[in-house]
Structure 1
Amino acid sequence: MFRITKEFHFSASHQLKSLPPEHQCARLHGHNYVVEVELSAETLNEHGFVRDYHELAPLKHYIDETFDHRHLNEVLGHDRVTAECLARHFYEWCKARLPETTAVRVSETAKTWAEYRP
């Protein structure tokens, strides 16, 4: 199995309103997010790629236009905007356009990652 990954970055705010008010994440706060998409294939295409990295440009555009410097609760229309939920959201968006998508990881900090891999 061949596997490639590409990383994307954006900054945004969110609020986890279902948490107790004294929890730090219940307050409005922001992160510098890192999104890593993974694509896999058993064979390479005629150019020797799983997928040309340039073909992931629509994901960069989607992230930049829809998520960067936005309030994620408003973007996604709910109050449970966790790294886990974002990983699934980006996975589903990618899978619909890039069938080789096998996983998406989202980081809110340099030490934490959430991954969605069906």
Structure 2
Amino acid sequence: MYRIAKEFAFSASHQLCHLPPDHQCARLHGHNYVVVVELAAEALNADGFVRDYHDLAPLKTYIDECFDHRHLNDVLDGPSTAETLARHFHDWCRARWPETVAVRVSETPKTWAEYRP
């Protein structure tokens, strides 16, 4: 199996209002998010790629236009956790690139959540 990945970044605020008021994530705060999309294929295309990295440019546009410097509570339905973001971006990517196998979202350099069906 061949695997490739590409990383994207954005900054946004969010608040997990369903948590107890004394939980740090219940307060309004922000992160510098890193999104990594992973694609895989058993065979390479005629150009020798799983997929050309340039083909993934629409994800950067989508992130820049809809997520960067936004309040995620206003963008997503449901809680704006790294887990729900990973699922959201996975579904968005998979609809465009069937080779998509996973998406990882990091809120900090030491934490990440991944959606991999």
TM-score normalised over the length of structure 2? 0.99
Q: Aligned Cα RMSD in Å?
A: 0.5
Structure 1 match to 2:52: 52
User: Per-residue deviation at 1:84?
Assistant: 0.2
User: Per-residue deviation at 1:60?
Assistant: 0.3
Structure 1 match to 2:36: 36
Alignment: residue pair count: 117
Q: How does 1:48-87 map to 2 (within 5 A)?
A: 48-78=48-78, 80-87=79-86
User: Percent identity of the aligned residues?
Assistant: 78
Write the distance in 2 (CA, Å) between the matches of 1:77 and 1:14.
12
The structure 1 segments of at least 4 consecutive aligned residues displaced by more than 3 Å after TM superposition are none
Structure 1 match to 2:116: 117
Write the distance in 2 (CA, Å) between the matches of 1:18 and 1:105.
23
Write the distance in 2 (CA, Å) between the matches of 1:83 and 1:75.
14
User: Per-residue deviation at 1:77?
Assistant: 3.4
User: Per-residue deviation at 1:34?
Assistant: 0.1
Aligned letter for 1:72? L
Deviations 1:62-84 (A, max 9, x none): 00000000000001133x11000
Write the distance in 2 (CA, Å) between the matches of 1:116 and 1:91.
7
Equivalent position SS for 1:64: helix
* Unpaired runs of at least 5, structure 1: none
Equivalent position SS for 2:75: helix
TM-score normalised over the length of structure 1? 0.98
Aligned letter for 2:19? L
Please say if 1:25 is aligned against 2:25.
yes
